[in-house]
Structure 1
Amino acid sequence: MRSIVRIQARIALRNAARGKCRTPCSAIRHSSSEVRQWSTPLAKQLSEAITATGPIPLASFMRMCLTSDVGGYYTSEQEGRDQFGRKGDFITSPEISQVFGELIGIWFVAEWMAQGKKDGVELVEIGPGRGTLMDDMLRTMQNFPAMAEAIKYVYMVEASPALREAQRKLLCGDAPMIKTPIGHKSMSKYNDIQVIWVENIRDVDSAMFNCQGEGNTPFIVAHEFFDALPIHAFQSIPAPPPPPESTSDTIQTPTGPIKLPSPSTETKRLQPVGPQWRELVVSPTPPPLTPSPKKKPDEFHLTLSHAPTPHSLYLPALSPRYKSLLNTPGSLVEISPESQTYISNIAKMIGGPNPKPPPKEKSTGKGKIKKREPRGAALILDYGPSHTIPLNSLRGIHHHTPVSPFSSPGLVDLSSDVDFTALAETALASSPGVEVHGPVEQASFLLSMGIKERAEMLVRGITKEAVVKGEVGSKDAEERKKGIEGAWRRLVDRGGSGMGKVYKVMAVVPESGGKRKPVGFGGDVE
């Protein structure tokens, strides 16, 4: 589980940001005659690219490490590699307990009922891992025949070929996967629902609304997805000192004195005024001086850009939340443009886009697209602060152990805290037809959804089964009951090793003018 090791991993980045990041940035060139041995092929490729072009943004480094076709963490086709579960690098909530996925499925059933049981339901999961969550959701929805019959398609937004295959096996059994113009498809073992794989949320949007989107009801879930999207990191610095004034307006040369020209008004105007944002960028670490140092340094490290970058000039200016920190030197902020793109698409799929201004010419009415009624919902489950801006949150995990995010590129899982406030702001700005609820702590959400009662029901079922088989008190039955009990408590535990507090849940639903709250966010089943 990524959250358990977040604190230790965060310390490493904080040290980098406060210590190493003040090193001037420049292309790195090593004079050693020995050929450097890199930990992975991706590390070598990254070093060569940075040496040729200069330090790269943290977001570019994360993107390459996670999705590069040269051994990216999620896109590697290495045989037998599995990032999830006890044998992988981390365990997610659906892998811990089936009850988690069941309750997410029930939440969407409750929302479907509250919206009038509309037809044309299209389930969408973004970053579905091995497919465990969707499998639990679909199995649960079979207990609600009307809802199950309303499901038209299942969309899986997945870039990894290996994970797509794992999802197909779990959701579709022996049904083959067929390539399509937008991705792949197969037939689910649940009611023969068609499962469609795409690599980007925009592909879902295109497929769903190619006929003006009439009759489609998208129900979207993103569990531990936004934490894996690349982030840009910025640090505020005081206003640079003005260039020194010349004590004399003339200089002596071999041919005599020459009068210096006065600085032009334009030159003075271009001089930076006030504090600035500078971007934290990634550079290769020079090789150690000794052949075998006791502590091998990370292959890459953070530096602070010596001048403003296009990202530092643009991204922190998008929200007043960032602007207010600019005047505090040393302030750090993390911004994820890709997260904002995804949540914007999600909001538009549910509530429709912002209306365009009418043309100046009088419309003839031909080709007019009918305004779509807001419908559907999205549930986002991830970890991060409820209201503050994340900082120093980049972490690396390998085999359930915190490691430096700048070591072994492609072999280490990288993630960072989710800025839920930024997601909410972007969703509301992207569509007038949605409202946002939460984030609330995962513990509060799951307890209100009945996780304790559902777990107790499963335990009673095991007890009854043991009675029928004459195995009351057997070791197997007792271990199964103990496993169920420990799993649900771990999901709601608000302590340091639990998931109940650090994980948050946020919902995006059709705008109702404050007339109702979804289940799990203060509302009741309608």
Structure 2
Amino acid sequence: MLKQKLLKRIRTSGPLSVADYMAECLFHPEHGYYTRRQPFGADGDFITAPDISQMFGELTALWLVETWNAMGKPADFCLCEIGPGRATWMRDILRTAHKADPEFAAAAKIHLIEKSPRLIDVQKTALSEHASQIKWVSAIDDLPALPTLLIANELFDALPTRQYVKTTNKWAERVVSEQDGQLIFTIGTGTIDADTLPLSANGAEESSIFEYAPAREALAQEIASHIARHKGAALFIDYGHVKSDLGDTLQAVRTHKQENVFANPGDADLTSHVDFETLNIAAKTGGSSIFPIITQAEFLLGLGLIERAGLLGTGKDEATQQAIKDAVNRLAGNGANQMGDLFKAMCITSTGLVPPAPFGQPNATNEIQ
């Protein structure tokens, strides 16, 4: 049981950072969440946008085809997804792309970045008709030296984050410790450079939380460097905030319900909101052009979500039409349990490449907004 292993480790070596706790819960080789569980879909712990409706993948496919056109239609290019899950998104993208532009589909050298042998087997089954086109790799460095279109959905939220707490005199790292056989939060000895804190940290109340995820910034910079070297674009969709800010967003989800982050280590999904401002800064540092962050609603509606829903519903029975309407609301709405505003879309490109709508021209100075 992972909880007992963590308690033993804490007693032996001292408290864990929140990032280390997340990493153990999610990726422990024997007891980790992604090692053992099937998290996706109605029968899992959470539902992602591709699971809600085929429209998500269809509209993304059209955006990718347009971006490929803007790149000059390279005869060979790398189409990459990081963290494909059950491969639902890529399956819908490939199905749509084959119909929309056979040249795009033929030119694509598909690479999926996945480390879980269990999930690779799931992906191979889902993408069996495209098997000859697909190669599974474990890192950005394994991608070919080709123009690249890279996508990732709900990737960064699962990468571990550290947490820092405002105390009387400083910001101290929040850590996971042990008390009476239970996991608890305590204050550690580590601190954070003041330059890393957001402006809202000035005058923050005691016990305020700041989350900082170097692993996310490192991955964004690595992707940006690849895009800058080999040309192309990357699209990231995840939930989070446009500007760096304070707040405790660490959460555990199991069977579609939130629970205490210490309740079931290794059996619940642990995530936190993505700080898109820091990702954009990291991508710029990596050499890519950056564009203003938009909401998932702006992304999908700008690509024709309403029009596509209308076509799908034409001639269908009332129940099917209602299901399509519900999917549109879930993907682009702003109410409870809806993704439209909470989820954001981020695009980076190599120098000189302007992605198609709904992303606009990069800022004149390529600054974060």
Regarding TM over 0.5, the answer is yes
Superposition deviation, residue 199 in structure 1: 2.7
CA contact (8 A) 1:395 1:403 kept: yes
CA contact (8 A) 2:221 2:283 kept: yes
1:340 counterpart residue number:
217
Give CA-to-partner distance per residue, 1:207-234, whole Å, 9 cap, x none: x2xxxx3xx1111111001000100001
Q: 1:50 to 1:422 in 2, by over 3 A?
A: same
Aligned AA for 2:164? F
For residues 322 and 438 of structure 1, the distance between their equivalents in structure 2, rounded to whole angstroms, comes to 19
1:286 lines up with 2:180 in the alignment: yes
1:458 counterpart residue number:
312
Q: 1:324 to 1:95 in 2, by over 3 A?
A: closer
Give CA-to-partner distance per residue, 1:282-309, whole Å, 9 cap, x none: 012414xxxxxxxxxxx4221011x3x2
SS at structure 1 position matched to 2:165: strand
Q: Which has the larger radius of gyration?
A: 1
- Give 1:145's match in structure 2, choosing from 82, 86, 102: 102
- Give 1:300's match in structure 2, choosing from 183, 204, 208: 183
CA contact (8 A) 2:152 2:235 kept: yes
2:114 counterpart residue number:
158
1:325 lines up with 2:282 in the alignment: no
4+ long deviations beyond 6 Å: none
Q: Work out the percentage of aligned pairs sharing the same amino acid.
A: 35
1:71 lines up with 2:27 in the alignment: no
Give CA-to-partner distance per residue, 1:18-44, whole Å, 9 cap, x none: xxxxxxxxxxxxxxxxxxxxxxx1111
1:395 counterpart residue number:
251
Aligned AA for 1:381? I
The structure richer in helix per residue is 2
1:226 lines up with 2:156 in the alignment: yes
For residues 51 and 111 of structure 2, the distance between their equivalents in structure 1, rounded to whole angstroms, comes to 20
For residues 168 and 510 of structure 1, the distance between their equivalents in structure 2, rounded to whole angstroms, comes to 31
1:196 counterpart residue number:
135
Aligned AA for 2:60? I
Give CA-to-partner distance per residue, 1:62-90, whole Å, 9 cap, x none: 000000012100012xxxx4211111111
1:406 counterpart residue number:
262
Superposition deviation, residue 202 in structure 1: 3.4
1:449 lines up with 2:303 in the alignment: yes
The structure richer in strand per residue is 2
For residues 238 and 324 of structure 1, the distance between their equivalents in structure 2, rounded to whole angstroms, comes to 16
- Correspondence list, 1:55-204, <5 A: 55-76=15-36, 81-143=37-99, 144-152=101-109, 154-172=110-128, 188-189=130-131, 192-193=132-133, 195-204=134-143
TM-score for the superposition, normalised by structure 1? 0.65
1:468 counterpart residue number:
none
Aligned AA for 1:113? N
Alpha-carbon RMSD across the aligned residues, in angstroms, is: 1.9
Aligned AA for 2:290? V
For residues 195 and 212 of structure 2, the distance between their equivalents in structure 1, rounded to whole angstroms, comes to 10
2:343 counterpart residue number:
503
CA contact (8 A) 1:65 1:72 kept: yes
SS at structure 2 position matched to 1:75: helix
For residues 136 and 389 of structure 1, the distance between their equivalents in structure 2, rounded to whole angstroms, comes to 35
CA contact (8 A) 1:238 1:329 kept: no
Give CA-to-partner distance per residue, 1:319-366, whole Å, 9 cap, x none: 3x44772664634211111101110111011113xxxxxxxxxxxxxx
Aligned AA for 1:172? S
- Give 1:518's match in structure 2, choosing from 352, 356, 367: 356
For residues 157 and 418 of structure 1, the distance between their equivalents in structure 2, rounded to whole angstroms, comes to 20
Superposition deviation, residue 169 in structure 1: 0.3
Where does the alignment leave 5 or more consecutive residues of structure 1 unmatched?
A: 1-40, 174-187, 240-275, 288-298, 353-373, 464-476
Where does the alignment leave 5 or more consecutive residues of structure 2 unmatched?
A: 362-369
